[in-house]
């Protein structure tokens, strides 16, 4: 089954644009553009500039990042790689909705719980589900100096990533609603999110050093179906 990430990204761009346009009359002046660790706004800009920045920046990033990934991985096909290419657009769309809610609220506070839940779902649970289905390639996946040189390291690391990211992503999703906001939630997010990927980098090195046959990725590989 073929997945078209650029069409998916364009759909999210349209949703984000219409959502922003219809909310213009509810946006106060000025609008918050920077928040502290407790999610309270500390810097503001005039509505015409701050809101327009959101209005244009997020849709632009959705399309540009998706297009760049799609160009670099244009020899790859399959549902799994398409979903991974579309991840940045989905992640940014969730952030644009969160920021728009902050713009129209009386306090201007963002929702750190929503932010962390978005990270847990898109960058951990969603990614973890599709990573094992991607064959070795130099563009999409967990790219380390060892996964791109060893098929054994690539395969074991990506299979290992499935349950590491999904379990830690589920744990982070639960923590997003129960851990106190501020420093505690920030630390939990860093440990479970960035810690998971750091662990996978180290794991890929350990597997590589186990002595399996190594090779350099020079040719495109077919992406298996999820």
pLDDT tens-digit readout, 7-45: 777 787 787 777 777 777 777 778 777 788 877 888 787
Question: Phi first, then psi: what are they for 43, rounded to 5°?
Answer: -130, 140
Kindly list the distances between the CA atom of residue 32 and the CA atoms of 25, 35, 109, in Å, as whole numbers in the listed order.
Answer: 16, 8, 8
Residue 49: pLDDT band (50, 70, 90) is confident
DSSP 201: H
Determine what percent of the chain is predicted with pLDDT higher than 90. Answer: 22
Q: What span, in angstroms and rounded, lies between the C-alpha atoms of 117 and 221?
A: 33
């Amino acid at each position: 089954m073929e997945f078209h990430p650029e069409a998916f990204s364009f759909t999210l761009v349209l949703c984000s644009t219409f959502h922003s346009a219809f909310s213009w009359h509810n946006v106060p002046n000025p609008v918050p553009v920077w928040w502290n660790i407790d999610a309270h706004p500390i810097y503001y800009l005039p509505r015409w500039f701050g809101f327009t920045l959101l209005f244009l920046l997020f849709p632009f990033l959705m399309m540009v990042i998706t297009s760049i990934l799609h160009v670099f991985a244009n020899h790859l096909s399959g549902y799994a790689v398409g979903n991974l290419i579309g991840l940045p657009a989905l992640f940014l769309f969730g952030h644009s909705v969160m920021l728009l809610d902050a713009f129209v609220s009386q306090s201007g506070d963002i929702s750190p719980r929503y932010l962390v839940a978005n990270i847990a779902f898109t960058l951990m649970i969603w990614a973890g589900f599709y990573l094992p289905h991607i064959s070795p390639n130099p563009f999409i996946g967990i790219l380390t100096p060892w996964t791109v040189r060893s098929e054994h390291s690539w395969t074991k690391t990506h299979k290992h990533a499935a349950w590491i990211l999904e379990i830690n992503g589920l744990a982070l999703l639960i923590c997003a609603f129960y851990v106190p906001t501020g420093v505690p939630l920030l630390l939990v997010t860093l440990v479970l999110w960035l810690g998971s990927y750091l662990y996978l980098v180290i794991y890929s090195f350990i597997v590589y050093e186990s002595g399996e046959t190594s090779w350099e990725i020079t040719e495109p590989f077919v992406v298996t179906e999820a």
